[in-house]
Amino acid sequence: MSPRLVRTAGDASGRRDVPLRITVDGEPLTGIEGQTLAGVLMASGRRAWRAGPSGAPRGVFCGIGVCFDCLVTVNGVRDVRACGRRARDGDAVTTQSRVDGDGR
């Protein structure tokens, strides 16, 4: 999965960008309608947003919703795969950790 965005002027599909804003751990991030949460996170420069049991950083691994490396909490709902969930304007995303004492 690439964090690079195709500029509207260079996109042969003729798409029209519709901006959106989400917050991740209270930090506002901007994205484009149609991007996944993982896409917005990666485009903002984040490569990891979860910690595994060992404390190692985790982000996108498979990018197709099969693994559990990109889990986040979205609008209070835990264990959402960031690679498969389209970002929606106003989403409140919270990162998760398996070392935070809750066994996840």
User: What confidence score (pLDDT) does residue 53 get?
Assistant: 82
pLDDT band at 3 (very low <50, low <70, confident <90, very high): low
- Domain boundaries in the chain? 19-97
Residue 22 has pLDDT above 70, yes or no: yes
Based on DSSP, count helices (H) and strands (E) in the chain, helices before strands.
1, 7
Residue 85 has pLDDT above 70, yes or no: yes
Residue 104 has pLDDT above 50, yes or no: no
Parallel, antiparallel or unpaired: strands 27-32 and 50-51: unpaired
With vertex at residue 101, the alpha carbon angle to CA 97 and CA 102, rounded to the nearest 5 degrees, is: 80
CB atoms within 10 A of CB 32: 18
Residue 80 has pLDDT above 90, yes or no: yes
pLDDT band at 81 (very low <50, low <70, confident <90, very high): very high
Among the CATH numbers 3.40.710.10, 3.40.640.10, 3.10.20.440, 3.40.50.2020, which is that of 19-97? 3.10.20.440
